[in-house]
Amino acid sequence: MMKAFSQRLLPPYSGQVQIAESDRARAITMDGVRWEIHFLRAAKAREGAAGLKAKGAFTRVASIGNDELRAIAEQTSSMYENSDERIIELAAFLTTACLPFPSADNYEYWLLDAEDQSPLALIFSCTEADYMALFPSRPEWTALPAAVMPIDRTRDEQDRCEAPVNYQVERLVAARAGSKPRARWFQRQPDESDPFPVFLLREDWRDEEQRQLCQRYLMRQSTRLLMLHGLQREDRRRLELAARPYALEVERFFPLYPEIADQRVVNAIRAEARLRGASGEQVSLLDRRDGVLYL
């Protein structure tokens, strides 16, 4: 029996990872193009603990592109005749599957606002209640590192030798959480109206400079936030507009966007990405594994 679902890659949030999983192996991807194949270690499987199966029990054995998956599933190349049956099973499923997979991680661990104990920033998420106990009780939010997601600094920030925006926002969140930060698990329902920040981080800051810092961080993260499920149309459109300067990132993550708010905007971004790609432009950061290894 094959399970197919997606979940947010945390911490810090860096996208929505797609997972196809059997009782013996799984395939995961951050872009729908390149898949990592992981085998379940037998010693862990025999222990019978669902948490062990989900955390640390998989071994990465291969990285496979879509063309290779099709060749394995169809056995059209002799070089794949002796493929492991676990990989063949995954390949057969993935070559007919539709991305993105449904989101499944509705158990969420939120850092709380010190003033009113409302959700401030998402730290962890998981797909089953049994997994919550496996996460550390760590009331601390981290930003996506500047090495992964660089954000241009203003002239004033450069003159003052300010830290990257990522870490300035990290400090803002820590200060808002207070000297004795608290965090709490919630079970979310997909259709409920609630006070949780739609972009996984509060946007309402009393100080305008703080609000602008937060917006710069979130809008730079737009290409990854567009992978989120359940966004309202206007929120998704805001992200699409913010993603225009990052066409190559949009092109990479586009297969995992569950909806499009403004097709013309997204079409224009993707057309630009294709032109830039045809001219040989590359972004080395897009070759990163984005922490998938640690799932």
pLDDT tens string 83-94: 788 888 899 899
pLDDT of residue 61: 86
User: What contacts 24+ positions apart, CB below 8 Å, involve 71-76?
Assistant: none
Helix axes 233-242, 208-220, angle to 10 degrees: 80
Answer yes or no: do 80 and 109 share one domain: no
The predicted pLDDT at position 49 comes to 37
Whole-number Å distance between alpha carbons of 290 and 15: 8
- Go through 106-132 and write b for each residue having 16 or more CB atoms within 10 A of its CB, e for each that does not: bbbbbbbbeeeeebbbbbbbbbeeebb
For residue 126, is it within any domain?
A: yes
Residue 248 domain-assigned? no
The predicted structure's pLDDT at residue 218:
98
- 39 assigned to some structural domain: yes
Model's pTM, two decimal places? Answer: 0.88
CA distance 183 to 141: 10
The answer to whether residue 113 is domain-embedded is yes
Shared-domain flag, residues 72 and 134: no
- Helix, strand or coil for residue 255? helix
Question: Looking at 74, 94, 114, which one is the last position of a domain?
Answer: 94
Query: Both 86 and 126 in a single domain?
Result: no
pLDDT value at position 60? 86
Reduced to 3 states (helix: H, G, I; strand: E, B; else coil), residue 14 is coil
Q: Output the tens digit of pLDDT for each of the chain's 295 residues.
A: 889 999 999 999 999 999 999 888 999 999 999 999 999 876 443 343 333 344 447 888 888 888 888 888 887 555 556 678 888 889 989 999 999 999 999 999 999 999 999 999 999 999 999 999 989 888 999 999 998 899 988 888 888 888 999 999 999 999 999 999 999 999 988 666 578 999 999 999 989 999 999 999 999 999 999 999 999 999 999 999 999 999 999 999 999 999 999 999 999 999 999 999 898 887 666 565 654 544 5
Question: Could you tell me if 83 and 146 are in contact, meaning their C-beta atoms sit under 8 angstroms apart?
Answer: no
User: Which of 204, 230, 250 is a domain's end point?
Assistant: 204
111, amino acid identity: L
pLDDT at 1: 81
Q: Are residues 109 and 196 located together in one domain of the fold?
A: yes
Q: What three-state secondary structure class fits 223?
A: helix
> Burial, 82: exposed, middle or buried (Cβ in 10 Å; 0-12, 13-18, 19+)?
exposed
What pLDDT is attached to residue 48?
A: 38
Cα gap 144→150, rounded to integer Å: 9
The predicted pLDDT at position 20 comes to 95
Per DSSP, what are the bridge partners of residue 34?
65
Q: Would you state the pLDDT for residue 72?
A: 85
The domain in which residue 53 lies consists of 3-94
Q: Mean pLDDT over all residues of the chain?
A: 87
Q: Work out whether the CA dihedral 144, 148, 154, 156 comes out positive or negative.
A: positive
The pLDDT of residue 73 is 82
- Assess whether 26 and 89 both reside in one domain: yes
Q: Report how many domains make up the chain.
A: 2
- Read off the DSSP letter of residue 30: S
